[in-house]
Amino acid sequence: MGIAERIRDSAVSSINKDLPALRELIEKRSDTQFWKASEEKQVEFLTKMLECDLELATELADALGWEQPLEDSPRLAAAALLAARQENGLADPDLVKKLNWTEWKLKPDLPKLQKRFEESGQLRTKFAELVGLRPGRLHLREVARQAIVHNANNGRRASTSMAA
């Protein structure tokens, strides 16, 4: 065995010995910094994390079954105007049908579309996702709070199986 192999084997052996200690340190740190923190601090931490990763925010919203709020209906109707001007249109045939999108693009009726969004949380949620507004920066704290409450009600370790 050459010197390079002995150095590698020694390093691997050392890492394997230190791994349990490192794992324990990480567990203790996460317990004190997050799991044992107040609900408000947990929400604040998770919100900041979601601000850095909007894809994760969408995945978390999906896992929680979070619906785009009713108050977003006017904003979604305005976003529909922008989407109607884009050449690629809506990618979801079911949504195109439910919104009567082809006809609406020719003769936009914002109050009518807003009413449709107000009537259906699923429609709001699906449209918001297609136009990149789900959950949206406005609602990251709400999604974070729902996740923290979910964890409190189902136990800390349930969160790891929630996404599985």
The pLDDT assigned to 159 comes to 46
Ranking 5-14, 20-29, 61-70, 152-161 by mean pLDDT, the lowest is: 152-161
Cα(149)–Cα(128) distance, integer angstroms: 24
Kindly state whether residues 81 and 117 are assigned to the same domain: yes
Is the link from the previous residue into 135 a cis peptide, with omega within 30 of 0? yes
Per-residue pLDDT band at 30 (split at 50, 70, 90)? confident
Kindly state whether residues 29 and 44 are assigned to the same domain: no
Kindly state whether residues 74 and 129 are assigned to the same domain: yes
The pLDDT assigned to 47 comes to 97
Q: Which residue, 116, 138, 155, 158, is CA-closest to 66?
A: 138
The pLDDT assigned to 56 comes to 95
Kindly state whether residues 6 and 16 are assigned to the same domain: yes
Cα(37)–Cα(43) distance, integer angstroms: 10
Cα(33)–Cα(61) distance, integer angstroms: 24
Kindly state whether residues 25 and 80 are assigned to the same domain: no
Q: Which domain holds residue 146?
A: 38-66+138-164
> Is residue 164 predicted with pLDDT exceeding 60?
no
**pTM (two decimals):** 0.73
Side-chain-side CA neighbours of 135 within 13 Å: the count stands at 27
Kindly state whether residues 147 and 123 are assigned to the same domain: no
Kindly state whether residues 75 and 121 are assigned to the same domain: yes
Kindly state whether residues 89 and 44 are assigned to the same domain: no
Cα(48)–Cα(163) distance, integer angstroms: 20
Kindly state whether residues 75 and 126 are assigned to the same domain: yes
The pLDDT assigned to 156 comes to 59
> Is residue 163 predicted with pLDDT exceeding 70?
no
Q: CB count, 10 Å around CB of 34?
A: 14
Which pLDDT tens digit goes with each residue over 104-159? 999 999 999 999 999 999 999 999 999 989 999 999 999 999 999 999 998 755 44
Kindly state whether residues 20 and 60 are assigned to the same domain: no
Burial of 23 (0-12, 13-18, 19+ CB in 10 A): exposed
Kindly state whether residues 5 and 32 are assigned to the same domain: yes
Q: Which residue, 24, 132, 153, 44, is CA-closest to 88?
A: 132
Number of folded domains that form the chain: 3
Kindly state whether residues 32 and 42 are assigned to the same domain: no
